[in-house]
Amino acid sequence: MKRDTINTLDEASLVKCCKDNNAFAQKILYDKYVEPMMILCLRYIVNPEDAKEVLMDGFLNFYKNINGFAYLGEGSVKAWLKKIMVNQCLMHLRKRHPLFVTAKDADHYENADNSENALDHLNAKEIMKIIHSLPDGYRTVFNLYFFEGMNHREIGEMLNISENTSKSQLHRARAILKEKIIGKQKIVL
């Protein structure tokens, strides 16, 4: 199929071309989704170089397994890619070191002060920087819960932890974020 023809194809046809190993169709899908998938990877992986590596591994897995993908309409490619990327991020984090912090390591975060409108003084980049400062396990559970919309049972199954561990990690992540956001507000004011 010619490049001009491929450029005009809908997503379902692009997937079919990708299944036929058409490199140009693969590039079109890559270009369409690389930015949102990189943003997703950066939510989990703090180091941008590591995030790029995870992103590339995720796309390789996507194309390697595309014959097992069933196109179910608009949004299904993005949803499948998102699932692959989250799994790639989790595999990367697991390889590096244990994902979760023990309760004794987190005791000093439990008593964060309460302050209204602290987020009003921060931009998105500052908020992401604060989220990135979380320990890997806290950040992972936080992302899965808030950004991926998973419940604690699903998170527990995905990470091979108990539902209560997921709840505990989220609670501690929130306490740390609260403390850091309030601390940031005090510096700004």
The three-state DSSP-derived secondary structure of 99-168 is CCCCHHHHHHHCCCCCCCCHHHHCCHHHHHHHHHCCCHHHHHHHHHHHCCCCCHHHHHHHHCCCHHHHHH
- Residues 91-96 have a mean pLDDT of 86
- Weakest-pLDDT range from 71-75, 123-127, 156-160: 123-127
Every domain of the chain with CATH number 1.10.1740.10 lies at 3-96
pLDDT value at residue 92: 93
User: Using CB atoms within 10 A of its CB, is residue 123 exposed (0-12), middle (13-18) or buried (19+)?
Assistant: exposed
pLDDT value at residue 128: 83
Q: Cα–Cα distance between 110 and 157 in angstroms, integer? A: 26
Mean pLDDT of the chain: 84
pTM of the model: 0.74
Every domain of the chain with CATH number 1.10.10.10 lies at 103-188
Cβ–Cβ contacts within 10 Å for residue 6, how many? 16
Residue 139: name the closest of 183, 82, 104, 180 by CA.
180
Joined tokens for residue 148: 């991926």
Range 103-188 classified under CATH 1.10.10.10: yes
Asked whether the beta carbons of 173 and 181 are under 8 A apart, the reply is no
pLDDT value at residue 23: 93
**Range 3-96: architecture per CATH:** Orthogonal Bundle (1.10)
Cβ–Cβ contacts within 10 Å for residue 5, how many? 11
Q: Residue 141 to residues 57, 159, 183: CA-CA distances in angstroms?
A: 22, 9, 23
Joined tokens for residue 83: 């699932």
pLDDT, one tens digit per residue, over 6-57 is 667 899 999 999 999 999 999 999 999 999 999 999 999 989 999 999 999 9
Phi, psi of 16 (to 5 degrees): -60, -45
pLDDT, one tens digit per residue, over 130-179 is 888 999 899 999 999 988 999 999 999 999 999 999 999 999 999 998 88
User: Is the model's pLDDT at 115 over the cut of 90?
Assistant: no
Identity of the residue numbered 110 = E
